[in-house]
A and B are shown apart, each in its own frame.
Chain A
Amino acid sequence: MKLIFRGVRGSIPTPGPGTVKYGGNTTCIEIRTASNELIILDAGTGIHALAQRLNPRETVNAHIFITHTHWDHIQGLPFFMPIFMPNNLINIYGGIDPVTNEGIQRSMGVQLQYSFFPIREAELKAKLNYHTLLPGKTVSVGEARITPTLLNHPVLNFGYRIDCDGQSLFFTGDYEPVYNIYSPEDPDHDEYQSYVEAKLAEVAQAMSDVDALIVDASYTDEEYRSKQGWGHGTYRSALSMAAQAHAKKLFLTHHDPCRSDRQLDRIHQQLQQENRDAPFDILMAREGIEYTL
């Protein structure tokens, strides 16, 4: 499998001189299998850059897996140029929102209204297929097998594991490892803790032994203290996840929009120094760089 980050920012696109190296687009990851299937994880603004790289003379058969429906993960969908061309087939996958009880088609339907966008869904030229995924139920795209896992975020969020060509990767989407909402002296603490541990073990199992683990690592420990419950992880939680999962490479992504290239370099350097013995590579996700697993 080949892996190219097309968007690595969390929350909001951040173009400008301070974000040239790592990139300023919101989350989008391009995966190419050995038989050249196109799998896309999330449709942040980075999906526009991805579309620019596609050969306009070839028909597109894309499989877009949406982790969750927050803006920074779907905002690029209406700007994914292949949806406007006839003969293209665009498959969009996602979960059911328990609040609305609606599937992933809602995210496109909501965005493509005249109040928000000049073109309606009915006017798109490509063939769009929506697929509702269930946690733990694997779907296939060519040789690739994709398995969703429910992960904690302030909206339904799937982490995706992809197994293909004898390799594997796991992308968390936006993920804050679940924590105990009770204090130790609270009578409900121990019972809740047993649920938390069971859930963390389930997540570790879902990402076990992957060649690449791509994790939402938005905060330092210090920043996290005031941002607990916002739905994002830390550099530290990403490192411990990679260790537990026996991952070979750890990609840190969902860079905070206020973080400059220089700050990201510094954090990366520090993490590498402090974790020299880590049995996995620590990498900062960077737009446009291709990795072969």
Chain B
Amino acid sequence: MHIDELVTLVEKMPAFPNSVQRVVELASDINSSGKDIVVVIESDPVMTVKILKAINSPFYGLPRKINSIQRAVVHIGINTIKNMALSVAAIGVLKPHNKAGFDTGKFLLHSLMTAAICKKLGETMGVPQNELSDYYVAGLLHDFGKVVFAEFKAEAFKQSLQKSAEQQLPLHHCENEFIGIDHSQAGALLAEKWAFDASLVEAINHHHTPPQSSLLTQCLFVANQVSKQLGIGDAGNPIVEAFPEAVSAHFGMDLNEVIESLGDLSTLKSEALSFIH
């Protein structure tokens, strides 16, 4: 699958049903607040990538890349962001079930949980507050490649999902076999093409193979395993991966200890569920 083909396809990509409905509602209400629209966009990977893609384009020549919707709002204004979200909403709605048999509702829950946990992990690792939104966005977008596959490579993705489930193999290995590229590579290629910050591109690219150097990628790896272990949401990969050495060294805990250290996640879960229903 060629990158130009991917890029063209994502242009046509519809957003998630609940966020489309909320954006339309908020845009019809002159008294709606800026932060309400930010919350909706931040809960939808499609809206988030499209807005970050626009704001990071060379037209805005920003001195540093923008990884968060909040930062995008400060730069080009809430009304423009609202208008952009509305134009994404106008493209249509992602079907909850598609030809690939991929459940986009469960996918969204997995993405939102991973985002919230990744941000929380960043916080516990002492990441400065103004960088935590990068952790959230990395979690939200790490599996974006899958939703592109489900929409535009349905047959091959269906085979990947089936083989992964039946033989209990990591989904990205099966994607490589049937599509010729896996979702982390697809997501990273897109993020790179859209000039997202290098740390975000790396986190998406290596979220199954976190390198020693990047705390963001390591937090993302752990957040992804925690989400899968707890079974909140489902992005089609049945395998909970063991911590590589770099991750164990950094966190000094195993998966169950990390889960214990995170405490009660029911608030994060109910917040994530509220975006979906």
Q: A: which residues have CB within 8 A of B?
A: 95-96, 98-99, 101, 132, 134-137, 150, 152-157, 178, 181-182, 186, 188, 190-192, 194-196, 198-199, 229, 231
Contact = CB atoms under 8 A, between A and B. Distances in A.
A135 B60 contact: yes
Nearest to A182: B35
B34 A150 contact: no
Contact of A191 (B61, B83, B132): B132
Nearest to B70: A192
A199 B74 contact: yes
Contact of B74 (A98, A135, A136, A195): A195
Contacts of A188: 35, 70
B61 A181 contact: no
A188 B38 CA distance: 11
Q: Which size class do B's interface residues fall under?
A: 20 to 34
B75 A134 contact: no
12 contacts: A95-B59, A96-B59, A99-B80, A136-B61, A150-B75, A155-B80, A188-B70, A191-B70, A192-B70, A194-B130, A195-B74, A198-B74
Contacts of A190: 129
Contact of B59 (A134, A153, A198): A134
A181 B38 contact: yes
B80 A229 contact: no
Interface in B40-67: 54-55, 57-63
B80 A98 contact: yes
The listed residue with most B CB atoms (<10 A of its CB), out of A98, A181, A191, A199, is: A98
Given A190-B129, A194-B130, A195-B74, A150 B80 contact: no
Given A99-B84, A136-B61, A191-B132, A154 B77 contact: yes
Contacts of B54: 98, 101
Given A150-B60, A182-B35, A191 B79 contact: no
Contact of B61 (A134, A195, A231): A134
B268 to A, nearest CB: 13
A186 B77 CA distance: 20
Interface string B71-105: 10111111110011001000000000000000000
B164 interface: no
Contacts of A135: 60-62
Contacts of B58: 134
Contacts of B63: 136
Interface string B212-251: 0000000000000000000000000000000000000000
B77 A152 contact: yes
A155 B79 contact: yes
B80 A181 contact: no
A135 B76 CA distance: 11
Contacts of A196: 74
Interface string B132-164: 110000000000000000000000000000000
B80 to A, nearest CB: 6
B33 interface: yes
